[in-house]
Amino acid sequence: MLVLLFGRCICGLLKNKPRILVTHQLQYLKAADQILVLKEGHMVAKGTYMELQRSGVDFTSLLKKEEEEEQQLPPPDVPTRSRTLSQNSVLSQSSSVQSVKDGDQLPAEPVQTVAEESRAEGTIGVSLYVKYLRAGASIFTLLVVLLVNLLAQVAYIMQDWWLAYWADEQEKLGVNNSTIIHNGQNITKELDTAFYLGVYGGLTAAVIVFGFVRNLLLFNVLVRCAQALHNCMFNSILRTPVRFFDINPIGRVLNRFSKDIGQLDSNLPWTFVDFIQVFLQILGVIAVSASVIPWILIPVLPLLLIFLYLRRYFLQTSRDIKRLESTTRSPVFSHLSSSLQGLWTIRAFGAEERFQKAFDAHQDLHSAAWFLFLTTSRWFAVRLDGICSIFVTIVTFGCLLLRDQLDAGSVGLALTYSITLMGMFQWGVRQSAEVENMMTSVERVVEYTELENEAPWETQKRPPPDWPSKGLVTFDHVNFSYSSNGPLVLQDLKAMFRPKEKVGIVGRTGAGKSSLVSALFRLAEPQGKIYIDGVLTSEIGLHDLRQKMSIIPQDPVLFTGSMRKNLDPFNQHTDEELWNALQEVQLKSVVEELPGKLETVLAESGSNFSVGQRQLVCLARAILRKNRILIIDEATANVDPRTDELIQRTIRDKFRECTVLTIAHRLNTIIDSDRILVLDAGKIHAYDEPYTLLQDPECVFYKMVQQTGKQEAAALLEAAKQAFENRSRPNMSNGHAQTADGAEFGKRHPTPVVRAAREVRLAQSALHSLLAGMADCPGGAATHVTAQHPYTAEAEALSLHTAFKPIVVKP
């Protein structure tokens, strides 16, 4: 695939254009007109391929011609089981797997798509209000808040009613006033002003106190509701499976935590409090008017029905428009976030105008939804004013018609309240609609508080403190899917990885390589059983499982924070251990040059480090953890050959006693593994030693090696053969590996051709042992063969018969 891309696109369709290729695939440099060699941000050489080869600069150490490479055997002091990976890492980088040949089809695989953002429909149910309020207050607290609100409104109405009553009493006293002559003095009867003023002052104080307490309680409850929902959503996001972040863009999550939480923090409490106060005032106006003119309730009923119809009609539209406005806001966040992350690339390609137009399109769509929301609100406001005008007209004409039966104070109170209803009613209904519209933000936050959770972080069943002590991993009939209704990406997987074994995992695109790692870390719950040192992983907590395995991912992750926090986030290691780990990955000098050394705060995503340096930081983390199991997920796919060699050498030296599972596209990094697990469409296609698999032309691994080119394939075959000859074999019985205590490690998955090749090798080994035994001990050859070779005598006899039938050996 890479060869086709380079040959047909870069050297073909684009041949008349300037082409700048930044690559660590060094085999393509021969086709370059000019080559720039960079080191630590500086240009150290420039010229053509031939000029650089003649110059003898550092470039030649990066690009060693395959025909000149001579693989050196490991030094005598290195155990034969040690990997020769660092030697093989200087193989041509063309050993990167090209998944399919021209004309082949990729295997069927589930395409990871971004799920469409869900948008609720219909009315906001009472249950949502209950969830919102119960998030921050108990039922008793809510009852107290309701009682205080009622008392505050009663005190407010009683204050105005007392003034009207005072005026009526004063009027009655003026009409019926009589002068009494007592002891020659005229005495006029007057009201006790101190009493009326004292009562009015007491009611005013009650309004102030109850109003303050009401607002204090309401805001306190609503702020606590917002805080509780935010914390609950945050915890839910932390506990949701990793698959959630694969199908939901970051803008969608940011929208919840920014705009929706902002609504809950800032706008909703004010609007909610305002709505409750206005609603209680409207009820007070109707109650006062009805107490003055009881029959006014008759025309109020049809007006109420008209109002309810208009409100329902309005909310059906505005609520969905508000939801639409919320969903059209997410693409704006996503586009802005992705544009900021790729700003350098956008500027390099001069794509600012295209991205600006895309942003304008997203923003215009959001602005259109927002404008629709405003216009529907104004439409509703005009009709509310009409209803209020009709109500005031009815009250006014009622007072005129019944003027002989009404007191002046009561009429004044009713008219005053009715006129205030003009603006108050419209505002109250608008606030009620606004509350319901803002509850869509609560709805969206509550949706994220109810996300599917991963398994518990800790369970009652805890593994031993030193677990795993060996690193034995067993897959027993494992099926794996990323979602409950998704397709199986691993099917009936049965495999075993021995302690200290180095296993390479290969396969075409979509074969299930990364899914195997996901099942091991329980990023989604697998079906079947996975054991680590005899402990069933599904029975222990995720923290106990994941912290006992180290992984070096393809895309290195650094967090915004100090270098110390990136290496040791839980403060479990001393400074000396941190510096030693950095020394092992050759980053000590780099960190020492930083202004604050270990306390230096890294840029976002570690952008002030190169990809290779970030990868080395991840390797230093793994060294510090000292776990028995290490997973390498294409860790060297995006690094230069030197960093690749450093990583492979460090893994060989520091993780010699660990079980290492390596997912690789560069076959040279896993060609000397103890065994290769070949996956195809989620199933095990083959599982055997690399050299054994390369004897089968039908094996997927064999085809992968051949696709790297003749020279590279020959180098890989030679490396596999060398590793095969140097590797010490475990005890065998009936073709199955066994430990010292006889426990079977798991069956291999050879094809018929592989089995035949194995028989030939067994025959060769048996023949050599036979000849050696005959030389040392004539007459005891059969016994010597059985003692020296781990396979059974029957297998040896069969191998000798099938592979070396013409050869006759006489004692």
Q: Residue 672 sits in a domain of what CATH number?
A: 3.40.50.300
Question: pLDDT tier at 187 (50, 70, 90 boundaries)?
Answer: low
* 641 CB burial (10 A radius; 0-12, 13-18, 19+): buried
Residue 115 lies in a domain: no
User: Which residues, in sequence order, are CB contacts of 19 under 8 Å at separation 6+?
Assistant: 10
Give the whole-angstrom CA distance, residue 783 versus residue 242.
Answer: 58
User: Which residues, in sequence order, are CB contacts of 413 under 8 Å at separation 6+?
Assistant: 160, 161, 163, 164, 288, 292
pLDDT tops 90 at residue 153? no
Question: pLDDT tier at 606 (50, 70, 90 boundaries)?
Answer: low
Q: What is the pLDDT of residues 321-345, one digit of tens each?
A: 877 887 888 888 888 888 888 888 8
Residue 73 lies in a domain: no
Residue 196 lies in a domain: yes
Give the whole-angstrom CA distance, residue 658 versus residue 628.
Answer: 5
The confidence score (pLDDT) of residue 185 equals 56
The confidence score (pLDDT) of residue 234 equals 93
Q: What is the pLDDT of residues 415-469, one digit of tens each?
A: 777 777 767 777 877 788 788 878 888 998 999 998 888 888 888 888 888 888 8
Residues 594 and 650 in one domain: no
Number of domains the chain contains: 5
Residue 76 lies in a domain: no
Domain that holds residue 571: 559-608
Strand order in the sheet with 629-633: 549-552, 629-633, 659-663, 502-507, 675-680, 683-688
Q: What is the pLDDT of residues 521-560, one digit of tens each?
A: 988 888 889 999 989 998 898 888 988 898 888 778 788 8
Name which of 448-457, 677-686, 726-735 the model is least confident about: 726-735
| Residue where a domain terminates, one of 422, 449, 476 | 449
Between 389 and 78, the more confident residue is 389
Residues 281 and 397 in one domain: yes
The confidence score (pLDDT) of residue 174 equals 63
Question: pLDDT tier at 176 (50, 70, 90 boundaries)?
Answer: low
pLDDT tops 90 at residue 232? yes
Residues 660 and 679 in one domain: yes
Residue 731 lies in a domain: yes
* Contact (CB, 8 A) for 69 and 715: yes
Parallel, antiparallel, or unpaired: how do β-strands 659-663 and 502-507 relate? parallel
Task: Pick the closest to residue 623 from 588, 596, 592 (CA basis).
Answer: 588
Residues 410 and 344 in one domain: yes
List beta partners, residue 632: 552, 662
Mean pLDDT of 79-86: 36
Give the whole-angstrom CA distance, residue 711 versus residue 113.
Answer: 39
Q: What is the pLDDT of residues 633-665, one digit of tens each?
A: 876 666 667 777 788 888 888 888 889 998 887
779: left (phi over 0), alpha (psi -120 to 50) or beta: left
What percent of the chain clears pLDDT 90, i.e. is strictly above it? 8
Mean pLDDT of 349-377: 89
Count of CB atoms situated within 10 Å of the CB of 207: 20
The confidence score (pLDDT) of residue 209 equals 92
Contacts of 577-584 with CB under 8 Å at 24 or more apart are 577/624, 578/624, 581/620, 581/621, 581/623, 581/624, 582/620, 584/620, 584/623, 584/650, 584/654
The confidence score (pLDDT) of residue 729 equals 52
| Residue where a domain terminates, one of 383, 416, 449 | 449
Residue 463 lies in a domain: no
Residues 432 and 347 in one domain: yes
Parallel, antiparallel, or unpaired: how do β-strands 629-633 and 549-552 relate? parallel
DSSP per-residue string spanning 25-64? -GGGGGG-S-EEEEETTEEEEEE-HHHHHHHT-THHHH--
Residues 767 and 701 in one domain: no
Mean pLDDT of 700-717: 85
Instruction: Name the token pair of 327.
Output: 């969903």
Alpha-carbon 520 to chain mean position: 18
* Contact (CB, 8 A) for 500 and 691: no
Residues 315 and 226 in one domain: yes
Residue 533 lies in a domain: no
Alpha-carbon 263 to chain mean position: 24
Between 661 and 184, the more confident residue is 661
- Compute φ and ψ for 738, nearest 5 degrees: -135, 150
pLDDT tops 90 at residue 228? yes
Residue 98 lies in a domain: no
List beta partners, residue 497: 473
SS3 802: helix
The confidence score (pLDDT) of residue 532 equals 92
Residues 274 and 352 in one domain: yes
Residues 730 and 791 in one domain: no
Residues 428 and 370 in one domain: yes
Mean pLDDT of 482-501: 87
pLDDT tops 60 at residue 786? no
pLDDT tops 80 at residue 804? no
Residues 786 and 705 in one domain: no
The confidence score (pLDDT) of residue 183 equals 56
Give the whole-angstrom CA distance, residue 535 versus residue 610.
Answer: 39
| Residue where a domain terminates, one of 726, 749, 772 | 749
Residues 214 and 256 in one domain: yes
